[in-house]
A and B are shown apart, each in its own frame.
Chain A
Amino acid sequence: MANALFYLMAAGAVAAALGVVLAKSPIQCVLSLLASFFCLATIYLLAGFQFLAAAQILVYAGAIMVLFLFVIMLLNLGNPSTKDGTDEGLFRRKGAFLSVIVAAATMAAGAMAVTADGLAPATQPMPEHGIDTINGLAGEMFGRYLLPFEAISILLLATAVAVVVLAKRDRKDAGKGS
């Protein structure tokens, strides 16, 4: 039952990801991405990562997607723009070759991971409370990984300042950029 749900959600995540790449309107892309995130959250839950599933929904679906939707609505970009032939002939460009090459390389790496005998098979039962318990995560995050944690908090502060500077409407320099 859980296995069937996993494959269903995997197919859903892939289909939704394809929707992001192929949909015409940015709004459709955002909604496809949202569907993909929910499918992935279900997969995290099935794989035993309960906290990550919750974080995925809260942060990605709750915050990041709202940010995307907000910008699309703010700039009124909801309709696919046709003024300069946007995204017409999607697969007739040079980028198509590049992306096919990268996709093939990624898939080859995946296939090698499958055929390599380095992957340990699961022999133990899943821990009762999932893998990423809050106790364990907090112990690692505020113990061994305290420095990355502090670096992340500085990154967030710098981002907040940078976004304000970038998005600020500068009346004096209007037209000159910034």
Chain B
Amino acid sequence: MTVPVEHLFILSAILFAIGTAGFFLRRNVIIVLMSIELMLNAANLAFLAASRMHTLEAGATEASLQGPLFAIFVIVVAAVEAAVGLALVIALYRNQQTEQVTALKN
């Protein structure tokens, strides 16, 4: 693949923007959590794009591995966030019988 690294960053920005829009616009807590997953994925893509850039630039002698490493950490954090978030959704549903964020007001 010879796509310039800028295009990876642009794709990451677009995905992050879409995730942000979902986070602010939707009222269903589960979809809000999914939007957060989307944003974390966009951040991952940016990490990997930077790693690719530093690996393929002139004079680089070895692969730049911080990017993929932090992407792995982000994946773990995303899994943790999903588990805790969905447990909160279950607790919310048990107490309020709804999954809307508006139910969290009081």
B: number of interface residues (CB 8 Å):
81
Residues of B near any A CB (own CB < 8 A): 1-28, 30-31, 33-35, 37-38, 41, 44-45, 48-49, 51-58, 60, 62-66, 68-69, 71-73, 75-80, 82-84, 86-91, 93-95, 98-100, 102
Grouping DSSP codes into helix (H, G, I), strand (E, B) and loop, the A interface class, with mixed when no group exceeds half, is helix
A-B contact count (CB 8 A): 259
* Residue from B3, B5, B33, B69 within 8 A of A68 (CB atoms): B33
Known A137-B68, A159-B80, A167-B90; contact A47-B30, beta-carbon cutoff 8 A: no
Do A121 and B49 have beta carbons less than 8 Å apart?
Answer: no
Q: How far is the CA of A112 from the CA of B34 in the complex (A)?
A: 28
Residues of A near any B CB (own CB < 8 A): 2-3, 5-7, 10, 13-14, 17-18, 20-21, 26, 29-30, 33, 36-37, 40, 43-44, 46-49, 51-52, 55-56, 59-60, 63-64, 67-68, 71-72, 74-75, 77, 81, 84, 86-87, 90-91, 93, 95-96, 98-100, 102-103, 106-107, 109-111, 113-114, 119-127, 131-133, 136-137, 139-141, 145, 148, 152, 155-156, 159, 162-163, 166-167, 169, 177-178
Shortest distance from the beta carbon of B94 to any chain A beta carbon, whole Å: 8
Shortest distance from the beta carbon of B66 to any chain A beta carbon, whole Å: 7
Shortest distance from the beta carbon of B46 to any chain A beta carbon, whole Å: 9
Q: How far is the CA of A178 from the CA of B49 in the complex (A)?
A: 43
Known A26-B30, A75-B90; contact A40-B21, beta-carbon cutoff 8 A: no
Shortest distance from the beta carbon of A5 to any chain B beta carbon, whole Å: 8
Q: How far is the CA of A49 from the CA of B18 in the complex (A)?
A: 24
Do A137 and B65 have beta carbons less than 8 Å apart?
Answer: yes
Residues of A within 8 A of B99 (CB): 75, 77, 81
Give the residue name and chain of the B residue nearest to A45 (CB).
Answer: B1
Shortest distance from the beta carbon of A117 to any chain B beta carbon, whole Å: 11
Do B18 and A14 have beta carbons less than 8 Å apart?
Answer: yes
